[in-house]
Each structure stands twice: as C-alpha cells, then as structure tokens.
Amino acid sequence: MRWFLVAVAVLAAALSGCAVNRVVNTPLGSPAEYTLDTGDILRVIVYGDATLSTTYTVTDNGTISFPLAGAVAVRGKTITAAERSIARLLADGYMISPKVSVEITTYRPFFIDGAVTTSGQYAYVWGMTARAAVATAGGFKDYADRGRVTIYRKIGPTTVKIPSGLEAPILPGDEVVVAERWL
C-alpha cells in the first residue's frame, strides 16, 4: 500500500509538468497617439508648395531631411507635433503661415522570432495581433507553444517584456517571440 501511495505521488509530480498553461488575454496598453520612430515613411504635404510635398523616411537618428528646414527631429513625436515642428521651421524665414499635414504611408516593420516557420522582419498592418503576426511568418513550427507569446516593446528609452496571448495587439517596431513548448 505504501508503494502505491509513493507511485501515485511520483506520477502526480511527473504529470504536473504536463498541465496546460493558459494565458489570459488582456488588452495591452497602447499609446493614446502613435509616436514616430525609425523606419516610418511619412507623406508631408505643405499647402501651396507642391515641391515640398513628398514622402520622407525617418532615419536612424530619428529625423527627416526636409528641404529648407534641414534635419527635423520627429522620433518620439506624434503626427500633430511633427506637423507643428515642420511648420515652425518653415515659418522661420521661408514661408508666411505655412500649413503642413503629415500622414504615415508605411509603418515601421515588426519582427518575429522563435518557433515560427520563417523568422524575420515583416511589414506592419494597423490593428495587427500576435496571431496575425504568426500567420505572416508562415505559422507555428511543430514544437511551438501555441498559446502564448512574448512581446518586446520599446517604450521611451527602455524595452519592456510583455508576456501575452495570441489575441494581444502588436505595434510597429515590436518584436514577437513565440516560445517553444516542452513536453
């Protein structure tokens, strides 16, 4: 009888590692307004001057090279703040009351790694979830933990690790890591 109890205890301990881990999908906090960063492609429209109205890519140092105004720092700024910065620089001796509009034509890419078919960098589509990111990367590998992912998100100067489920929203620039499952 004692061996039976010991065997049941050992079996229960061994099987406890097989328990299903469920990750509760909670909405991740996203910024109230999108902030610009390296890799974003912007369409800048200066009303009344078609030569200045074109697309600009946010460079590695967080600026766009704008004619007349030079390098305009836009990293970490909202679209509205970028519009104001460009208008202020143009008003400083180049135009009288410039009207500027900025829109994002292409978001910076997101990255996916881990137990997916094809890891790498992919184009971001607004409203994308971790599940859509996995599908974009060709789906799960056989040994993937299909219930949870880790999202690494840059918030200001730091990178935050966010364990989450597949319905979690991702943002441009995020790195999504799909964990491997262990028997």
Residue 33 lies in a domain: no
How far apart are alpha carbons 144 and 180 in whole angstroms? 4
Residue 21 lies in a domain: no
Percentage of the chain beyond pLDDT 90 is 59
Range of the domain at 60: 41-106
Q: Domain end: 81, 106, 131, which one?
A: 106
Same domain, 102 and 113: no
pLDDT tens digits, 64-79 = 998 888 899 999 999 9
pLDDT tens digits, 122-155 = 999 988 999 999 999 999 999 988 888 999 998 8
Residue 3 lies in a domain: no
Contact 115, 178 (CB under 8 A): yes
Same domain, 101 and 150: no
Same domain, 99 and 120: no
Residue 32 lies in a domain: no
Same domain, 71 and 121: no
Average pLDDT over residues 172-177: 95
Same domain, 95 and 164: no
Q: Domain end: 106, 135, 157, which one?
A: 106
Q: Domain end: 72, 106, 140, which one?
A: 106
Residue 6 lies in a domain: no
Question: How far is CA 73 from its chain centroid?
Answer: 20
Least confident of 28-37, 39-48, 74-83, 92-101: 28-37
Residue 6 has pLDDT above 60, yes or no: no
How far apart are alpha carbons 104 and 107 in whole angstroms? 7
Residue 8 lies in a domain: no
Residue closest to 69 by CA, chosen among 41, 98, 43, 47: 98
* Cut 0.75: pTM above it: no
Number of structural domains the chain divides into: 2
Contact 181, 143 (CB under 8 A): yes
Least confident of 5-9, 64-68, 82-86, 87-91: 5-9
- Residue 165, domain CATH: 3.10.560.10
Residue closest to 30 by CA, chosen among 164, 167, 153: 153
Residue 124 lies in a domain: yes
